[in-house]
Amino acid sequence: MASSAAKHVDARNETQDKSPGLKRPRADDGNRGDDGKETENILSGFKTSNVLSDSAREKIIFIHGKIAEQDAVVVLEKTPFREENLEELFSGSKLRLEMTNDIYSTYRLQAPPHLNEIKTTVVFPATEKHVKKYQKQESFLVEETGEYYKSITLPYIQLQSFSLQWVYNILEGKAEAERVIYEDPDPVVGFVLLPDLKWDQKQVDDLYLIAIVHQRGIRSLRDLKSEHLPLLQNISKKGKEAVLERYNLPASKLRVYLHYQPSYYHLHIHFTKLGYEAPGCGVERAHLLSDVIQNLQCDPRYYQTRTLYFPVRADDGLLGKFKEAEKI
């Protein structure tokens, strides 16, 4: 839904729960599993079909191919530089001169392998929807009234939503338990806070956490009413406290927001460091949690009646539904 290739990374969020052992390998641990041991390189047999999209500026590429004759999507992304590694980077690298002119020189720098990692996300097995999701597409801004949501958007997402089993696995402690930063187990106002897969957890400058609510049945911003204020206020308060305690980042340095449309339809809230241009943080998609709380305090049914705007990719079936209804 976003404007550049980097804005499409949300692999875990839309991965079906068909092969728990293979669907979410992470490259930020090298070839290591959750127990820190070397694990099988499932990409050794990856056969490239085509490049779905890439961004030279963001240093990221999305590749469609096959693993064991099944479709897969691989996302390769250069990891950020870390200040604490600079001395070793300069002293332990090899330089090859490309050009020199007066005081200016350019080189090819070959860094030590452990400082030259590529963050890798694997979606496997990938469906046709996953492949289309990562393919570079033109986007359109949709104007959705409360009535359009009921008559167009809601029926569509009820039929098209991806599996939420991976969400339930996290909430039930069956998966990614070691990655949880904070949990409030209350079934009504509780939530789980953990790193988004887009963050390699190496530095706080690009901090990206997700708060997933325990309460089920709240799909998105559109479902929120005044009765959900205790839940939202709890996430705001305890989430910020957890970030301060764990990463020494005060609330004044955080951007806390919801996406509309979200990537998956179970209420979740994004915590990112202010100043980091996180995917989907633009005004056309992001809604600050503080604004959401104030809007619901003023009008209990604010998000049932308010006209909302959001970007939709050209190949998104929802855009087709709006076009069929002659609403775009």
pLDDT averages per 10-residue partition of the chain, 328 residues: 38 39 36 54 89 82 91 89 88 90 88 87 85 80 96 91 87 95 97 91 91 96 97 98 97 97 95 90 94 98 96 88 89
Whether residue 101 lies inside any domain: the answer is no
State whether 64 and 189 are in the same domain: no
State whether 175 and 257 are in the same domain: yes
Per-residue confidence (pLDDT) for residue 93, from 0 to 100: 93
Whether residue 123 lies inside any domain: the answer is yes
How many CB atoms lie under 10 A from the CB of residue 148?
19
DSSP 193: E
Per-residue confidence (pLDDT) for residue 287, from 0 to 100: 97
State whether 162 and 265 are in the same domain: yes
H-helix or E-strand containing 313?
strand 308-313
What's the token pair of residue 325? 């209804």
Whether residue 196 lies inside any domain: the answer is yes
Name the residue range of residue 52's domain: 1-77+119-136
Per-residue confidence (pLDDT) for residue 5, from 0 to 100: 38
State whether 164 and 257 are in the same domain: yes
Whether residue 273 lies inside any domain: the answer is yes
Whether residue 279 lies inside any domain: the answer is yes
Strand ranges (DSSP E) for 103-197? 104-110, 118-123, 139-144, 182-184, 191-195
Per-residue confidence (pLDDT) for residue 222, from 0 to 100: 97
State whether 172 and 305 are in the same domain: yes
Strand ranges (DSSP E) for 196-245? 208-213
State whether 130 and 183 are in the same domain: no
Residue 9 to residue 74: CA distance in whole angstroms: 10
Strand ranges (DSSP E) for 38-103? 47-55, 60-67, 70-78, 94-101
Per-residue confidence (pLDDT) for residue 102, from 0 to 100: 86
Residues annotated as catalytic are: 268
State whether 290 and 230 are in the same domain: yes
Per-residue confidence (pLDDT) for residue 26, from 0 to 100: 37
Domain finish residue from 136, 166, 186: 136
CATH number for the domain spanning 2: value is 3.30.200
Q: Which residues of 2-28 are buried (b: 16+ CB within 10 A; e: fewer)?
A: beebbbbbbbbbbbbbeeeebbbbbbb
Answer yes or no: pTM beyond 0.75: no
Per-residue confidence (pLDDT) for residue 161, from 0 to 100: 59
Whether residue 220 lies inside any domain: the answer is yes
Name the β-bridge partners of 53: 62
Per-residue confidence (pLDDT) for residue 42, from 0 to 100: 83
Residue 201, preceding bond cis, omega within 30 degrees?
no
Per-residue confidence (pLDDT) for residue 32, from 0 to 100: 44
* Apex 215 CA angle, 211 and 219, nearest 5: 80
State whether 124 and 175 are in the same domain: no
H-helix or E-strand containing 270?
strand 268-273
Whether residue 110 lies inside any domain: the answer is no
Name the β-bridge partners of 288: 257
CATH number for the domain spanning 301: value is 3.30.428.10
State whether 123 and 155 are in the same domain: no
Per-residue confidence (pLDDT) for residue 20, from 0 to 100: 33
State whether 146 and 287 are in the same domain: yes
3 state DSSP class of 243: helix
Q: What's the total number of domains in the chain?
A: 2
Provide CB contacts within 8 A for 247, sequence distance 6+.
204, 207
Per-residue confidence (pLDDT) for residue 177, from 0 to 100: 94
Per-residue confidence (pLDDT) for residue 18, from 0 to 100: 35
State whether 43 and 151 are in the same domain: no
Whether residue 96 lies inside any domain: the answer is no
Domain finish residue from 111, 136, 161: 136
State whether 130 and 205 are in the same domain: no
